Amino acid sequence: MLRRLFDHLEEWITAGCLAAATLIIFLDVLQRWSASIDWLWDIVSRVNLGWAQELAIYLVIWSAKFGAAYGVRTGIHLGVDMLVNAAGPRSRRLLVLLGLGLGALFAAVVVVLGTRWVMFMHQTGQVSYDLELPLWIVYLCIPLGAALMGLRFLQALWAYLRRGVLPETEGAA
């Protein structure tokens, strides 16, 4: 059961962040639009949504970072098909292994550099402008998303070495 939960982690984080951002933006737009309707403005103006745009941006960024891991898990980020398909069987295998290995290496570099950045932001104590949220929390999506993406690259590499298969893009024929 824990594995099933982990297998869909990216989907839930990505969908949750995008849904929350959409709702926040909708409420912000509704509030701005209601300024022209007196009775609605009296109700809606009681809530200060000055922070809405900033939070929506952060939620979209978090969804993009975890969406990249989802892309690797579903086969979207795994290769340049034209080059791989044009290669012979031995070259194809080498290109796939090289691509998966370099993807995992890239993710590892982003994890290390992202972690260093988060630690730096924590030390400086900087906060966001509207929410006054510690910026290290905002930037935490960089190493976390990259770590999950690297794990998905390693899972794809392991599956390719064991069974010779790569994840297929959903809906692919």
Tens digit of each residue's pLDDT (9 = 90 or more) over 142-154: 999 999 999 999 9
**Long-range pairs, 1-7, Cβ under 8 A, ≥24:** 7/73
Q: What does the pLDDT read at residue 77?
A: 60
- Residue 50 domain-assigned? yes
Share of the chain above pLDDT 70, in %: 94
Q: Which contiguous run of DSSP H or E holds residue 81?
A: helix 81-86
Q: Is residue 6 scored above 60 in pLDDT?
A: yes
- Do the beta carbons of residue 143 and residue 66 sit within 8 Å? no
Using the predicted structure, report yes or no on whether residue 21 has a pLDDT greater than 90: yes
Q: Residue 62 belongs to what domain range?
A: 2-163
65 inside domain: yes
Please check whether residue 173 lies inside any domain of the structure: no
Q: Residue 168 falls within a domain, yes or no? A: no
Q: Does the residue 148 lie in any domain?
A: yes
d(CA 53, CA 51): 6
**Residue 111 lies inside a defined structural domain of this protein:** yes
Residue 173 banded pLDDT, cuts 50, 70, 90: very low
pLDDT for position 172: 47
Task: Please state the domain count of the chain.
Answer: 1
d(CA 40, CA 42): 5
Does some domain include residue 170? no
Cβ neighbours around 79 below 10 Å, total = 18
Q: Which of 147, 149, 127, 144 is nearest to 136 (CA)?
A: 127
Q: Is residue 128 part of a domain?
A: yes
